[in-house]
Amino acid sequence: MKKIFIFISCCLFTFVSCEIDNYDGPDASIHGQFLDEKTGEPVGTDIENGNSIIVREQGFTNPQDQYWYIMNTGEYRDNLIFAATYDVRFENCNFYPFRIDNFVVKKGNNTYDFQVTPYIRIRNPKIMKNGNTVTATFSLEAGNPEVKVKEVQLFAFSDQWVGNSVKYSLSGGSDKAVISPSEIINSSKAYTLTIDLAENANSFKYTGKNYYFRIGALGEVSGVGTVRHNYSPLEVIMF
All structural domains of the chain with their residue ranges: 28-116, 120-238
pLDDT band at 24 (very low <50, low <70, confident <90, very high): confident
Q: How much is the mean pLDDT over the chain?
A: 90
Least confident of 65-74, 121-130, 152-161, 188-197: 65-74
Residue 180: burial class (beta carbons within 10 Å; 0-12, 13-18, 19+)? exposed
pLDDT band at 60 (very low <50, low <70, confident <90, very high): confident
Are 28-116 and 120-238 in the same CATH fold?
yes
pLDDT band at 93 (very low <50, low <70, confident <90, very high): very high
Domain 120-238 carries which CATH code?
A: 2.60.40.2060
Taking domain 28-116, whether its CATH number is 3.40.50.1220 is answered by no
Please tell me whether the peptide bond between 181 and the residue prior to it is cis, using omega within 30 degrees of 0: yes
pLDDT in the model for residue 162: 97
pLDDT band at 66 (very low <50, low <70, confident <90, very high): confident
